[in-house]
Structure 1
Amino acid sequence: MLQASQQGERSEGLSVDMDDFVELNPDQRREKVNSDQRYQALLNARGALAGYRGSLVWHGPDGSQRLMRSYYDRSGARRQKTLGSRSPQTEALKAEWDQRRAQAVQVFAERRETMERQAAINRALRLGRVPLIAAKIIRALDEAGLLGAGIRVAGTNAVYAYEAAAGVFVDAGVTATQDIDLLMDARRTLRILSSEDVPEGALLNLLRQVDRSFERTRETFRAINRDGYLIDLIKPDPRPPWKMERDRIGSGEDDLVAASMEGLAWLENARPFEAIAIDEKGWPVRMVCPDPRVFAAHKLWLSGRVDRDPPKRRRDEAQAAVVGRLTAAYLTHLPYEGDDLRVLPKSVRQSAEPLFRHSQSTFP
């Protein structure tokens, strides 16, 4: 690994041309705002509808019917709750529940239709950036209650969140990838908001809802589909090294087992960064990633590791430079200073500082 002073000197010479950023034009900016607002309204409607999962039905002979609520809990177990014998009060309760559920279904359908029209506009304006397979995976994690609650999008795909928040497009050479890294917080107990479609709450089964061809490889932290798209489940090295930590989400023997990697604790401990990006079909996708300042510093550190493949090191260096410049130029509410950066070792933090200082001196 490069010493901090060597890495700092090298980062002073990093430069990213303005051509690496293409700002959204006025039409794109307007529709990006509209898209974000309409997607948030759709998410709100989905959340409201989720409150009416399961069923509320009468059970038992006509003379002794009881109102029963059936649903799946967070562990995926089917639960039933008795709300009382049939009476004017329970009949009114069921009627109100049915009415509100019907309203929630209608609102969700209307907002989804609105979002379908918005997606067509987004496609026409070429706002779509996130690869479709990556977007589907991230949405599945979000709907399962994992995104931002123990799972973050790390690696190259995080750049889509940073550019979306900045209102720019980054050079495609920086973002092109055929995999996605899912950073797991091993300190938390993670559970999929299960249904009968996700047995044992397994992550691999959740991924198969996106693409049935996903299979775990011999590297047990990785899944691959028929097209060669890779999903890596990763987590920080335990501290201390002998500490036993959770390394999987599901309980199945064939589920993904997170690989421990040095340096990921910085991303795990960084403040979350949330943005709404747009996929290749024009549909928004909510993304939760590490703080871009910590991301850039981590990428620069990776680029200095002598045990990393040279092509990956050069790509890491380019991504560090781009994200550092983007953050300083457009995400000005995130200066490269303050308590948020204490998750980084001092040497790593100091080595990455020129990325942001150089950016700030370049842009007005």
Structure 2
Amino acid sequence: MAYWIDLDELALRQYIDAMAVFEACEAARSRVDAFSGGMLWRTSKGHEYLIQTSSDNRQRSLGRRSAATESMYEQFVTGKRTAQDRLRALRQQMAIQYRMNRALRVGDVPALLERILSAMDRRRLHDQVVVAGDCALFAYAAQAGVRLCAPPNAGNVPAPLSLHLWAASESAKDLAFNALRAADKSFIVRQVTRDRLEATNAQGVTVEIRHDTQIAALVAPPGPLGLRKFSTAVVTATGRMARMTAIPPTQYIMDAFHQAARMDLTPAQSALYAWRARATQRLVECSLPHWGEAMETGPRPT
């Protein structure tokens, strides 16, 4: 049984090249962020002082004008300009990579999912929110250099985009919903409980955002492999890229088999969950071997 199709050599090479530029762009943006705010000179009581401003308009004095504060000012201005120039150049290179991705048919991620991931990225949520459910399969396939096949004999089970997000805190859950609205303003809240929020957009796409204290284990500093988040860049059919931080494949496999055993599902729905679980299990064994040991050992969040 074929669970996936390997990307051809040109597409795989393009993904590797695009990933290198993408990660360089991420690093450059982090460097620009380190220079957020600004510095300026202000005169008070006949003396000039170097003032540092933050992005939220807070200000603090770094001292009277001197050789030391002038050096601080020059280093900041020069460093910020250099970082901005590098980021600008890399974004131009990224635009080229997007076109190459599209030409070589590197990815198949839905455009809406990319917009949601990008909106979360702008809010720096990768350390607070992880993708769960079937959308996580896009991350596993991307890193393995494959494209998952459609499940055989899936029956008439509808397959709209259904995104599950696990948030490590209540505030992160709220920020994730803000990211949804930034990606598509038609998202409205359909159901809310203390630890769960469900939203649907005008096209019927459903997103569930769940907050659970155990999820914090996935976004904590690296621990046992079975508890580490899975992070890579995914590619849309139009070539655009976004970082997806997902639950580890071991967690997905366990969850999918659990869903397949539910008594309230139709046989076709149960078969679909079981097929995806087996496909991911096989993908780990063949293409993500460093996750293989975690399939047998280590605690997992529930």
Shift of 1:329: 2.1
* Among 27, 31, 34, the residue aligned to 1:48: 31
Q: State how 1:53-64 maps to structure 2 within 5 Å.
A: 53-60=36-43, 63-64=46-47
Shift of 1:54: 1.6
* Among 207, 210, 217, the residue aligned to 2:190: 217
Shift of 1:176: 5.2
Shift of 1:71: 1.8
Match status 1:330 vs 2:302: no
Shift of 1:172: 4.5
Map of 1:159 onto structure 2: 137
Alpha-carbon RMSD: 3.1
- The answer on whether the counterparts of 1:274 and 1:288 sit within 8 Å (CA) in structure 2 is yes
Map of 2:70 onto structure 1: 91
**AA aligned opposite 1:161:** A
What TM-score do you get using the length of structure 1 for normalisation?
0.69
- The answer on whether the counterparts of 1:295 and 1:320 sit within 8 Å (CA) in structure 2 is yes
CA distance in 2, matches of 1:206, 1:64: 46
- The answer on whether the counterparts of 1:293 and 1:336 sit within 8 Å (CA) in structure 2 is no
3-state DSSP of counterpart to 1:333 = helix
Distance change (3 Å), C-alpha of 1:202 and 1:60: farther
3-state DSSP of counterpart to 2:186 = coil
What TM-score do you get using the length of structure 2 for normalisation?
0.82
CA distance in 2, matches of 1:191, 1:306: 33
* Among 288, 296, 305, the residue aligned to 2:245: 288
CA distance in 1, matches of 2:103, 2:187: 31
Q: Can you give the 5+ residue segments of structure 2 that lack an aligned partner in the other structure? A: 217-225
Map of 2:276 onto structure 1: 319
Q: State how 1:252-263 maps to structure 2 within 5 Å.
A: none
Map of 1:278 onto structure 2: 235
Of the structure 1 ranges 220-229 and 41-50, higher mean CA displacement relative to structure 2 is found in: 220-229
Q: State how 1:1-364 maps to structure 2 within 5 Å.
A: 17-18=1-2, 20-60=3-43, 63-72=46-55, 78-147=57-126, 149-172=127-150, 177-186=160-169, 202-219=175-192, 221-236=197-212, 270-308=227-265, 312-335=269-292, 340-343=297-300
- The answer on whether the counterparts of 1:153 and 1:181 sit within 8 Å (CA) in structure 2 is yes
Map of 2:220 onto structure 1: none
- The answer on whether the counterparts of 1:271 and 1:340 sit within 8 Å (CA) in structure 2 is no
3-state DSSP of counterpart to 2:69 = helix
Q: Can you give the 5+ residue segments of structure 1 that lack an aligned partner in the other structure? A: 1-16, 193-200, 240-244, 247-268, 346-364
Listed one character per residue, the Cα deviations across residues 265-293 of structure 1 (whole Å, up to 9, x for unaligned) are: xxxx7322222221232122222222212
CA distance in 1, matches of 2:19, 2:107: 13
CA distance in 2, matches of 1:294, 1:191: 21
Shift of 1:126: 0.6
CA distance in 2, matches of 1:122, 1:177: 24
Size of the aligned set, in residue pairs, is 286
Shift of 1:129: 1.7
Of the structure 1 ranges 152-161 and 222-231, higher mean CA displacement relative to structure 2 is found in: 222-231
Distance change (3 Å), C-alpha of 1:344 and 1:99: closer
**AA aligned opposite 2:135:** N
Shift of 1:146: 1.8
Distance change (3 Å), C-alpha of 1:338 and 1:234: closer
